A and B are shown apart, each in its own frame.
Chain A
Amino acid sequence: KQEVTQIPAALSVPEGENLVLNCSFTDSAIYNLQWFRQDPGKGLTSLLLIQSSQREQTSGRLNASLDKSSGRSTLYIAASQPGDSATYLCAVRGSQGNLIFGKGTKLSVKP
């Protein structure tokens, strides 16, 4: 059974710092991995999608990497801003097409 783990569960950093969020999964047979952002009381917003054949994807200040063989992905946020404060979720898609989620990392960026 696929299990997805996100470390750390919570992170507080000063504005302007570069940071890395970690995601690990137990079964490397995935189709893709998706990073989401969730603001309090809101839905999930897709940030980046990495296919199993890709090593990384970039969008603005965000860069996500994937090492499928070791079951790891990282989300790198450059020059963090208070507006980046949210919960970040990692999810992997397996052969049935379903997404398996980690429990998220709650990020707080202090001004």
Chain B
Amino acid sequence: NAGVTQTPKFQVLKTGQSMTLQCAQDMNHEYMSWYRQDPGMGLRLIHYSVGAGITDQGEVPNGYNVSRSTTEDFPLRLLSAAPSQTSVYFCASSSPRAARTEAFFGQGTRLTVV
């Protein structure tokens, strides 16, 4: 039972580089989201998706893109990495009836931008 899988676990980028953080879930959840966690700031929502082909912005979307071509996958793209994007990134998913069910989180991707 894999749950929510994030790759990579660690990444170091140079300023200006681009990369994609991968997130996959095997629970047939329609709702998926990306958060970033920073010291003193807590977890903040970046982007979310309520189903394949549907995405929307969260609280801190600037500098990030998402797409949702399948139910299982929800990648997060950094277009041009900046030191301010140094953070720990978490992907989460929950069932189609998102209001009633618990959210499951991946183990996180620790990103450092130098």
- What residues of chain A have their CB less than 8 Å away from a CB belonging to chain B? 31-32, 34, 36, 41-46, 49, 51, 89, 91, 93, 95, 97-104
Asked if B33 is at the interface (CB within 8 A of a chain A CB), the reply is yes
Q: Is the CB of B92 within 8 A of A99?
A: yes
Q: Is the CB of A43 within 8 A of B107?
A: yes
- Given known A42-B108, A43-B90, contact A89–B43 (CB-CB < 8 A): yes
Asked if B75 is at the interface (CB within 8 A of a chain A CB), the reply is no
Q: Which residues of A contact B74 (CB under 8 A)?
A: none
Q: Which residues of A contact B102 (CB under 8 A)?
A: 34, 46, 49
Q: Is the CB of B42 within 8 A of A97?
A: no
- Given known A43-B106, A93-B99, contact A102–B42 (CB-CB < 8 A): yes
Residue of A36, A46, A98, A103 touching B45 (CB-CB under 8 A): A98
Q: Is the CB of A46 within 8 A of B107?
A: no
Q: How far is the CA of A91 from the CA of B90 in the complex (A)?
A: 14
Chain A interface SS verdict (over half): strand
Q: Which residues of A contact B90 (CB under 8 A)?
A: 43-44
Q: Which residue of B lies closest to A44 (CB)?
A: B105
CB within 8 Å of A: which B29-43 residues: 31, 33, 35, 40-43
Q: How far is the CA of A36 from the CA of B48 in the complex (A)?
A: 20
Q: Which residues of A contact B103 (CB under 8 A)?
A: 34, 46, 91, 93, 99
Residue of A36, A44, A97, A103 touching B98 (CB-CB under 8 A): A97
- Given known A43-B106, A46-B104, contact A93–B42 (CB-CB < 8 A): no
Q: Is the CB of A42 within 8 A of B41?
A: no
